[in-house]
Amino acid sequence: MWFWTMSVVGDVWFGFSWLLNQLPKFNPVKTIPDMVALRRQYDLPDGTSTLPGIDVFVTTADPIDEPILYTMNCVLSILASDYPVDRCACYLSDDSGALIQYEALIETAKFATLWVPFCRKHCIEPRAPESYFELEAPLYTGSASEEFKNDHSSVHREYDEFKERLDSLSSAISKRSDAYNSMKTGEGDAKATWMANGTQWPGSWIDTTEIHRKGHHAGIVKVVLDHSVRGHNLGSQASTHNLNFANTDVRLPMLVYISRGKNPSYDHNKKAGALNAQLRASALLSNAQFIINFDCDHYINNSQKP
């Protein structure tokens, strides 16, 4: 008898618990941050903000296994996120130490001077250009619909040229290195990989050597985009791309290239080691309160939720 009673009590309790669990689903509550209230509370008159800083870490291991275009789209979506530029920084960790990743990041920073203001002006979503331009009919939510069509075609054309420049980086670096090696190295010397400024790349070389290969090279930290200037930096009526960014903030977040030093005599701890190197560099450069980690094939699909 007691066993039957306990079974009935248990069934009643589980049924009651299930009912309590179902009740909130009939009237779900969705919380959405009030961006206007946040800006009113945290934005300062000089164009800066008191919101907590965010350091975004992007990790990539190989430019062949992880296509550069996807990595750069990830970076572009971070740079275009709707967060105060003086409180946001992006750190790209390149475990291959390849020059092509660094020069691709430089090209990305140049294209970002067009892409980011375009996104801000027209409220573009998503802010990874590859995903955005794949949309057959992108939804427009901005306030300058008359200019949008012209701006869209101009930026799309610039993006296609940007992709062509990324595709040509490998051959450009190879030709440049061959030219410098023919002038500055003797017969039998190691064939270095040369940067555009005429200095040898400290990371891994195309023609690898003992101390310039993927698993053994010096550490590299290069600031591609520095901290933004204080105050709202609005664009001009006519830019180099014939786009009007007169009332658009054209500042960009901080962008840093990192390739940690590697030596076969110690364990580099794979991705954990890369994150540790990013953490050390960010502590000196931006030292934000929050850290977000992205894989190189991810991107921000909602610019207001970085």
Does 262 score more than 50 pLDDT?
Answer: yes
The per-residue pLDDT for 239 is: 52
Per-residue model confidence as pLDDT tens digits over 154-174: 999 999 999 999 999 999 999
147/53: higher pLDDT: 53
Does 231 score more than 60 pLDDT?
Answer: no
Does 29 score more than 60 pLDDT?
Answer: yes
269/29: higher pLDDT: 269
Per-residue model confidence as pLDDT tens digits over 15-26: 889 888 888 888
CB-count burial class (<10 Å; 0-12, 13-18, 19+) for 183 = exposed
Q: Average pLDDT, stretch 193-209? A: 92
Question: 285 near 223, Cβ under 8 Å?
Answer: yes
Q: Average pLDDT, stretch 118-142? A: 85
pLDDT confidence band for 305 (50 / 70 / 90): low
Task: Give CA–CA dist 148/211, Å, rounded.
Answer: 51
Which two structure tokens, joined as six digits, stand for 24?
């909130």
Helix locations, the chain, DSSP H = 2-26, 35-42, 68-79, 99-122, 129-133, 145-184, 270-285
**CA nearest neighbour of 162 among 126, 124, 108, 116:** 108
pTM of the model: 0.85
Per-residue model confidence as pLDDT tens digits over 70-115: 999 999 999 999 999 989 999 999 999 999 999 999 999 999 999 9
Return the exposure string of 208-221: e unless at least 16 CB atoms fall within 10 Å of the residue's CB, then b.
beeebbbebbbebb
Q: Is the dihedral of CA 164, 201, 227, 127 positive or negative?
A: positive
Q: Which parts are annotated binding residues for UDP-alpha-D-glucose?
A: 66, 95, 270
pLDDT confidence band for 238 (50 / 70 / 90): very low
Q: Which parts are annotated binding residues for Mn(2+)?
A: 271, 295
Which two structure tokens, joined as six digits, stand for 189?
């010397």
**CA nearest neighbour of 194 among 217, 211, 175:** 175
Q: Which parts are annotated binding residues?
A: 66, 95, 270-271, 295
Q: Average pLDDT, stretch 252-270? A: 92
Q: What is the mean pLDDT of the chain?
A: 88
